[in-house]
A and B are shown apart, each in its own frame.
Chain A
Amino acid sequence: LAKTTQPISMDSYEGQEVNITCSHNNIATNDYITWYQQFPSQGPRFIIQGYKTKVTNEVASLFIPADRKSSTLSLPRVSLSDTAVYYCLVGDVSGYSTLTFGKGTMLLVSP
């Protein structure tokens, strides 16, 4: 599975847009990129998944450049409740349920 690198932590204020970038230099052709969110003492929650270009849902956008060696999770207008750890995962469809989590990015949103 492709290794991912994310910032350990990020700080933001309510109402701002937050962009978290993940590097995955050795991503394979069949790999998808998925982001999960985790609050303390809870299980991770799926946010968004993509393969290339841009994907948007009701909570976030995922930007993937043409070379797919990185991806950026964009959270519009964050609130205090968005304070959580965000994980970037890369894996191919055939074995995707075996999720390999890195250290994640701790996002702290302040008033």
Chain B
Amino acid sequence: KAGVTQTPRYLIKTRGQQVTLSCSPISGHRSVSWYQQTPGQGLQFLFEYFSETQRNKGNFPGRFSGRQFSNSRSEMNVSTLELGDSALYLCASSFSPRGSEAFFGQGTRLTVV
């Protein structure tokens, strides 16, 4: 079956702009989580959605937001981009939030200039 699909794979934006990243989970998976990965901070949890509801949120400013649609697809938005937002953004899907193996997408490489 198809894996987790993230689009776009690469993105270059200018400071102050906003960006929307998309994640299509594995068919049947209802839980989607987002992570930011940078060389300095490693993998950091952003937020998690299950059945269109945000269940958990990491320690990120309000500029980072997300949502999940009825078909489990998810988007994350970053407004007023800063240089420090340059990172690999990873999406993971799982069947349920409880003890399920998480499957990660290839990520979206965001560069803010």
Contacts and interface: CB of A to CB of B under 8 A. Distances in A.
A111 interface: no
Which range holds the interface residue count of chain A?
20 to 34
A13 interface: no
A96 B100 contact: yes
Interface string B86-113: 0010111010111111111111010000
Contacts of B50: 97
B53 to A, nearest CB: 13
Interface in A92-107: 93-104
B100 A99 contact: no
Contacts of B98: 93-94, 96-97
Given A43-B90, A43-B105, A46-B103, A95 B97 contact: yes
B21 to A, nearest CB: 13
B104 A44 contact: yes
A42 interface: yes
B39 to A, nearest CB: 11
21 contacts: A41-B109, A42-B106, A43-B4, A43-B104, A44-B102, A46-B101, A46-B102, A46-B103, A87-B43, A93-B98, A93-B99, A97-B33, A97-B92, A97-B98, A98-B33, A98-B55, A99-B35, A99-B43, A99-B102, A101-B43, A104-B42
Given A94-B98, A99-B33, 4 more contacts: A43-B107, A44-B92, A46-B103, A101-B43
